[in-house]
Structure 1
Amino acid sequence: MSKPHLEEDVLVVNVVNPTAGLLAGDRVHYDVTVESGARVLLTAPSASRAHRIVEGDARVTQEFRVASGGWLESWPEMFIPQGGARYRQRTTVRVEEGGEALLIEMIAPGRTASGEVFAFTELDWETEIFLGTGKIARERYVLTPESPTLAAMRAPFPEAYYASCFVISPHLRTDAKCWQQIHDLHAEDAWVGCSALVKGGWAIRVVAAGSVALRRTVAAIRAEVYAALGKQAPGLRRN
């Protein structure tokens, strides 16, 4: 973990994997608690990678808790599943009433510069979000190169890049203009969808033709969310 620093009253924490990436048998666990009145940006300076795994898998579990009056933004760098990778990720987010969170994840199709596209063996991804005592979101998908979900993503973009965003806040109404502005980011090279969760939150999805289009769109979504909340977006300091 790099030396945390304050920027715009937000504690910016870069988490670094000291190895070349995730290998068979690797187990990584994140446990993050944001107390009332604290503001934290959890990010990473470079992409994370899962390498080829012949037997077993690599697993990451994440537990995020945000107290009432706390703010958590989690935006790691791009996740790159390499050829033959087997990867499992489980994320649980618990936000107290009055707490806020912005959660962003970006997934590449592989090492596209080397011609490796959707060559991983399996990605098993699960996210559960609780607001107060109630579950407001559950996302689960298992991707293989032959899966129908992947085929649907590749229909418009053969080398599809994907981003998943969740916004949890009591200060954004369903009719807030930022949702239309985010919807309007939909473009020829980046498709954007936005919908309200059952309570207190929103889900945003992006499928893009390439990494440049994905990064541009996700950065614009982040800017719209911060502006709507009246917050100053801290820099990521990724280099």
Structure 2
Amino acid sequence: MFDASAPSVTMQRSQGAAHVVMGPRGLIDLSQRGSAKAMLPRMTAGLPEIVFLNTSGGLASGDRLAFAVDLRPGTRALATTQTAERAYRATDDPAQAQVSLTVGAGGWLDWLPQETILFHGSKLDRHTRIDLAGDAGCMLLETVVLGRIAMDEVPARLHLRDRREVYRDGRILHHDALALDDATLPRLAGPALTGTARALATLAVIAPHAPDLLTRARDVLNEPGVTGAASAPPGRLVIRLLAQGDWPLRRQVNRLLGALRPDPLPRIWQV
């Protein structure tokens, strides 16, 4: 028998931070602590890659995780994650994830993390900020999967606050936010929201030439099982995707990346 009067146990929480600084000739500085790690695989083609890893295996209540990249002027690179991030059931405060990306003048960053899987009862607050200097540009991807699709898990409870902001020389260019909670989940099935989709993604290009890519993007928005739309406000290209499964969504994302960028897909991805 359990003793209901026994004091509650304080669970251990994971904390991690990894920071990579790169210049045109390669790595300048690397710092990492706790559960956050960064790897720089040797590349023979495409952009230099930065691969972040959360060694705790996922995010639970009260965990804190921070990834940061600083690209010096004239530096081009791709940053991704080794695997999908998992947000587990939380009994207390949300997990906190912070992504800070800085791109110097004349530089370019592809921020292409793998998907985030939200388990039933998960709680996650995440903030991604990209600071561009001068004529720098970036591509950023965010993919969210509701529940473990292979196990037919449909979350009835969760909390997500996800913000992505892009600034140029201190002035905001792009702001994208997603909020989900117990009250909003039952309404997602409406035709104006996600319908029956269990996986959703946003791909954005922030650069003066981004609107010129609109036709190219729309030409490949034809993956079976995926609904997509693209728009091109000044200085941006924004693509929204919805799918019932994560693999059709991944295939559509791969086709878009192949059409919009000259470099190979991230080496770490399973395609």
- Structure 2 vs 1, CA of residues 98 and 220 (structure 1 numbering), >3 Å: closer, same or farther? same
8 Å CA contact 1:144, 1:150 repeated in 2: no
Aligned counterparts of 1:166 and 1:117: Cα–Cα separation in 2: 28
* 1:232 equivalent in structure 2: 263
* 1:171 equivalent in structure 2: 209
Aligned counterparts of 1:75 and 1:139: Cα–Cα separation in 2: 16
Structure 2 stretches lacking a partner, 5+ long: 1-37
Segment drifting more, 24-33 vs 144-153: 144-153
Quick one: higher RCO (CA 8 Å, sep 6+), 1 or 2? 1
* 2:9 equivalent in structure 1: none
**Structure with larger Rg:** 2
- Determine helix, strand or coil for the equivalent of 1:108: strand
Which of 247, 250, 256 pairs up with 1:215? Answer: 250
Deviation readout 1:197-226 (Å, 9 max, x if unpaired): 3x4222111111211210111111111111
Which of 84, 88, 104 pairs up with 2:125? Answer: 88
TM-score (norm. length: structure 2): 0.77
8 Å CA contact 1:82, 1:111 repeated in 2: yes
- Whether 1:43 and 2:80 are equivalent positions in the alignment is yes
Structure 1 stretches lacking a partner, 5+ long: none
1:191 Cα deviation from its structure 2 partner: 1.3
* 2:172 equivalent in structure 1: 135
* 1:162 equivalent in structure 2: 200
Aligned counterparts of 1:27 and 1:68: Cα–Cα separation in 2: 30
Segment drifting more, 213-222 vs 162-171: 162-171
Percent of aligned positions with the same letter in both sequences?
25
- Determine helix, strand or coil for the equivalent of 2:48: strand
Size of the aligned set, in residue pairs, is: 231
8 Å CA contact 2:121, 2:155 repeated in 1: no
1:9 Cα deviation from its structure 2 partner: 5.0
TM-score (norm. length: structure 1): 0.87
8 Å CA contact 2:158, 2:182 repeated in 1: yes
8 Å CA contact 2:226, 2:249 repeated in 1: yes
- Structure 2 vs 1, CA of residues 7 and 145 (structure 1 numbering), >3 Å: closer, same or farther? farther
